[in-house]
Amino acid sequence: MKKFLLSGAIVALALSTAAAADIPGLQKGSPVIKSISALAFCPQGCLFIGDPASQTIFAVNTADSTPSGTGDLNVEKLDEKLGSLLGVTGKDVKISDVKVNPASGNVYIAASRANGPAPVIVRLGRDGSLKEFSLKDVAFASVKLPNAAGEAITNMAFVDGKLIVAGLSTEEFASTLRVIPFPFKDADQGAGIEIFHGAHGKLETKSPIRTFAPYRVSGADYILAAYTCTPLVRIPVSDLKAGAKVKGSTIAELGNRNRPLDMVVYTKDGKDYLLMANSARGVMKIPATGVDKVEAITARPKGEKAGVGYETIAELKDVTQLDALDGGRALLVIAPQGGSVSLKTIPMP
Amino acid sequence: MFAIALGLMLAADPSVKLTMQLSQDSQAFEIIGLGEGELDALRKSPPADWATIFSVSVKQESPESLTLPMSGRHIITSRTLRFEPRFPPAPGVTYRVSFSGSKLPIVGEVTVPKVDPTPRTSVVAIFPSANRLPENTLRFYLQFSGPMNLKDIYRHVKLIRDDGQEVDHPFLEIEEQLWSADGTRLTLLCDPGRVKRGLVPREQDGPILEEGRRYTLVIDRGWEDAEGRLLRETARKTFDVGPPDDTPVDPANWTLQSPVKGWTNPLLIRLAEPLDRALLARMVWIEDAAGQRVPGELSVGGGERVLTFAPAKSWTAGCYHLTVDTRLEDLCGNRVGEAFEVDMFQQVQQKILTRTVRRAFEVR
């Protein structure tokens, strides 16, 4: 009996080792994370965690790189479920970020209690199961952000072997974009980059980035950045060099009622689009190729079968988090004022 | 320091009890009164089973909701089975405890007492403190006396015009929120799209502040602090609005009153205009003739128009420099030597440099 169990255990261990991608530059340990304001993934399943309270970025191997299913993910009462782990009721839960692990398709959610930043990371499996992602005895690395006193880490993305981190100062009106090579090197913590934008050709000002999304076109990497003012600009990643002042090219002027919270870039019918969660206007689709008009989707796509239960995207208000589930679908977190929070899958429009 | 111990009988056997301990630095649910045999059996079973045997979960609003057990760890002590949740049991929340030892499964509920609701936290200061602000004021700081609840914070802040009209979404509502490191100071950033000229939001919705009008910033007491109490009172700041300020900050216009050698009297600095409260605290310092920072304390007062620097040791005679980081901003985002909105036809610097400007003064 014992022998059988032992060999079973060995098989299980072998399977789990095969599932864990080999990510360089990490050491075993239990990182202490004080807060989480942003998450990001590398293609092999390395989870990056932005901790503004300790001004540190962590990289953790999730050991979750086996494709885990392709179905839609829809979860009701997500706030209550997260609250259960945190020990509070649903209304006292604050969700900081939601990101899909591209290596497995599982979803990672950073949440905390409304009265304090101590976080928990929860893995939502493609089968709908929710489990805490423990930071005990994991392979990890960390890098402290220099000169980042009082900075909110708003956005991160892994592009071409580097982690791009956008921060917003709590004091100066400053935009910081840092490009941090990965694996993290002690000496190289990423260089600060100042972003300018032009407005109607006359005045240039510094402008913090509110949110950004990476994308690739014609073999080159770009980021699409939504500023705290209005413009949506495209910046080549190759321009993001240490100590540089960078001006992006405006691809859209968003009006005041567009408050971009989250964005992803996707391709449909050979064209690139930006899908943007906007607290006032629902979910919007913007051509990424430089058209000034922003269109809100209102029509139900043609050919939809009756009874599929599809909601028009313009009615999807209160979307607070957005990520690509895969090339053809988006994952939304919907948090209406005073209502319960749900997670929903929609096709890319 | 406080501790709550609640006893709850769980089983038909009155010697088996659930207690919940909650103190400043630790929290635990414990089953006491178990027999040695039972504890031994638990020790022998795999730790993963303990969570199934003794589970604590939050009683949520929706009874049908799948309740996941609380995050935490289980320990078997010499006499008890203990669950230490990662986060302290929250006041007012009911926890459902189920214990299925060798006896029949038992389910019980325990509610953590609510805190004394008497308000304790208040807004102790709002910066800029001046009663007259430029039309293109860029930011406000709200200083609370303690940490606040972080959910949907922006609905508690309103900017009301003299005609009673509320300014629609004047502040950038950033999910990540702009709190100081100790979690007690919030930065409200005025929507730059409406502060800056020539941008679409300003064309659509106008500026946030208009010259010649009067506004009141209201922080309503319904905003709970981190312990669920209301604020002591609703905080208000009323101010008049003057013309926009596009002038860069120029330390050459400041007035310095040099201290005397042998004393610890402070260096007094009068600014030409109020500057940013937070940036003044860290972007101004004193260097001695050798370029070393002089230890001491910088205080900001007089409506953010007066700085005093009190040295840690008495002044020695010599030449000193008041040193200012050029990122120091005024109320409108103008920096040292650089206005907030820069004419494009000026050469925009190609590289960022950390720069300072210096004002020399003598101590005799």
Report the share of chain B in percent with pLDDT over 70.
88
Nearest chain B Cα to A118, which residue?
A: B87
Of A36-45, A144-153, B26-35, B138-147, least confident by mean pLDDT is: A144-153
Classify burial at B158, counting beta carbons within 10 Å of its beta carbon; exposed 0-12, middle 13-18, buried 19 or more. Answer: middle
Average pLDDT value for residue range B343-350:
45
Q: How many CB atoms lie within 10 A of CB A30?
A: 11
CA B357 to chain centre: 31
Q: What's the Rg (C-alpha) of chain A?
A: 20
CB pairs under 8 A between A and B: 200
B173/A94 touch (CB, cutoff 8 Å), yes or no? no
Domain boundaries, chain B: 3-111, 123-242, 251-363
Tokens read off for A25: 């530059």
Classify burial at B345, counting beta carbons within 10 Å of its beta carbon; exposed 0-12, middle 13-18, buried 19 or more. Answer: exposed
* pLDDT score of A303 more than 50: no
B344/A202 touch (CB, cutoff 8 Å), yes or no? yes
A 172-231 → B contacts, CB under 8 A: 172-174, 192-194, 196, 198-205, 207-208, 210, 228-230
The shortest CB-CB distance from A118 to any of B87, B173, B348 is to B87
What is the model's pLDDT at position A259?
73
Contact A343, A78 (CB under 8 A): yes
What is the model's pLDDT at position A292?
38
Average pLDDT value for residue range A45-53:
95
Instruction: Determine phi and psi for B5, rounding to 5 degrees.
Output: -125, 115
* pLDDT score of A167 more than 60: yes
Going by pLDDT thresholds of 50, 70 and 90, the confidence category of residue A149 is: low
For tokens 């993305």, the residue is A157
Chain A positions touching B350 (Cβ under 8 A) are: 244-245
* pLDDT score of A206 more than 70: no
Of A96-100, A206-210, B40-44, B79-83, least confident by mean pLDDT is: A206-210
* pLDDT score of A212 more than 50: yes
Classify burial at A325, counting beta carbons within 10 Å of its beta carbon; exposed 0-12, middle 13-18, buried 19 or more. Answer: buried
Which one-letter amino acid corresponds to residue B168?
D
Of A266-270, B179-183, B348-352, B355-359, least confident by mean pLDDT is: B348-352
Average pLDDT value for residue range B52-69:
80
pLDDT tens for A315-342 read 678 889 999 999 899 999 999 888 899 9
Q: How many angstroms separate the CA of residue A214 from the nearest CA in chain B?
A: 20
Q: Would the pTM count as exceeding 0.95?
A: no
* pLDDT score of B353 more than 60: no
Instruction: Select the highest-mean-pLDDT range: A224-238, B91-105, B204-218.
Output: B204-218
Answer with the residue of higher pLDDT: B347 or A90: A90
B173/A174 touch (CB, cutoff 8 Å), yes or no? no
Going by pLDDT thresholds of 50, 70 and 90, the confidence category of residue A137 is: very high
A115/B205 touch (CB, cutoff 8 Å), yes or no? no
Q: How far is B71 from B90, CA to CA, in rounded Å?
A: 13
Nearest chain A Cα to B57, which residue?
A: A84
Which one-letter amino acid corresponds to residue A133?
F
What is the model's pLDDT at position A216?
84
Tokens read off for A241: 């060099």
Average pLDDT value for residue range B268-288:
96
A88/B69 touch (CB, cutoff 8 Å), yes or no? no
Q: How confident is the prediction for chain A on average, in pLDDT?
A: 79
**A217 beta partners:** A220
Q: Is B74 on the interface with A (CB under 8 A)?
A: no
Q: Is B232 on the interface with A (CB under 8 A)?
A: no
Distances (CA, A) of B71 to A136, A138, A236, A342: 13, 18, 43, 21
Chain B positions touching A87 (Cβ under 8 A) are: 58, 70-71, 85-90, 93, 95
A 76-105 → B contacts, CB under 8 A: 77, 80-81, 83-92, 94, 96
Answer with the residue of higher pLDDT: A227 or A205: A227
B176/A38 touch (CB, cutoff 8 Å), yes or no? yes
**CATH number of the structural domain B3-111:** 2.60.40
Q: How far is A20 from B220, CA to CA, in rounded Å?
A: 50
B276/A170 touch (CB, cutoff 8 Å), yes or no? no
SS3 B59: coil
pLDDT tens for A98-118 read 999 999 999 999 999 999 889
SS3 B201: helix
Sign of CA dihedral B123, B129, B130, B132: negative
Q: How far is A325 from A331, CA to CA, in rounded Å?
A: 6
Of A207-216, B278-287, B295-304, B336-345, least confident by mean pLDDT is: B336-345
Going by pLDDT thresholds of 50, 70 and 90, the confidence category of residue A229 is: low
Tokens read off for A134: 């423990």
What is the model's pLDDT at position A79?
94
Nearest chain A Cα to B187, which residue?
A: A170
Chain B positions touching A198 (Cβ under 8 A) are: 344
Average pLDDT value for residue range A172-201:
68
What is the model's pLDDT at position A305?
30
- Model ipTM over 0.95: no
In terms of DSSP bridges, do strands A342-347 and A329-334 run parallel, antiparallel, or are they unpaired? antiparallel
Going by pLDDT thresholds of 50, 70 and 90, the confidence category of residue A251 is: confident
The shortest CB-CB distance from A205 to any of B65, B196, B204 is to B196
Nearest chain B Cα to A79, which residue?
A: B60
The shortest CB-CB distance from A90 to any of B61, B90, B343 is to B61
* pLDDT score of B49 more than 90: no
pLDDT tens for B105-131 read 777 888 888 889 999 999 999 999 999
Going by pLDDT thresholds of 50, 70 and 90, the confidence category of residue A302 is: very low
Average pLDDT value for residue range B159-172:
94
A 111-130 → B contacts, CB under 8 A: 112-118, 120, 130
Classify burial at A306, counting beta carbons within 10 Å of its beta carbon; exposed 0-12, middle 13-18, buried 19 or more. Answer: exposed
* pLDDT score of B9 more than 70: no
What is the model's pLDDT at position A256?
53
Contact A170, A151 (CB under 8 A): yes
Q: Is A245 on the interface with B (CB under 8 A)?
A: yes
Q: Is A329 on the interface with B (CB under 8 A)?
A: no
Q: How confident is the prediction for chain B on average, in pLDDT?
A: 87
What is the model's pLDDT at position B284?
96
Q: Is A297 on the interface with B (CB under 8 A)?
A: no
Of B177-181, B294-298, B330-334, least confident by mean pLDDT is: B177-181
Average pLDDT value for residue range B155-168:
96
Average pLDDT value for residue range B336-361:
67
Chain A positions touching B177 (Cβ under 8 A) are: 152
Question: Is-same-fold flag (B123-242; B251-363)?
Answer: yes
User: What is the topology classification, in CATH, of domain B251-363?
Assistant: Immunoglobulin-like (2.60.40)
Q: Is B259 on the interface with A (CB under 8 A)?
A: no
CATH 2.60.40.3710, domain B123-242, yes or no: yes
Average pLDDT value for residue range B319-332:
95
* pLDDT score of A65 more than 80: yes
Q: How far is B278 from B293, CA to CA, in rounded Å?
A: 20
DSSP state at residue A312: P
Chain A positions touching B179 (Cβ under 8 A) are: 170
Tokens read off for A144: 């402290």
Contact B360, B320 (CB under 8 A): yes
Of A131-140, A283-292, B234-243, least confident by mean pLDDT is: A283-292
Going by pLDDT thresholds of 50, 70 and 90, the confidence category of residue A245 is: confident
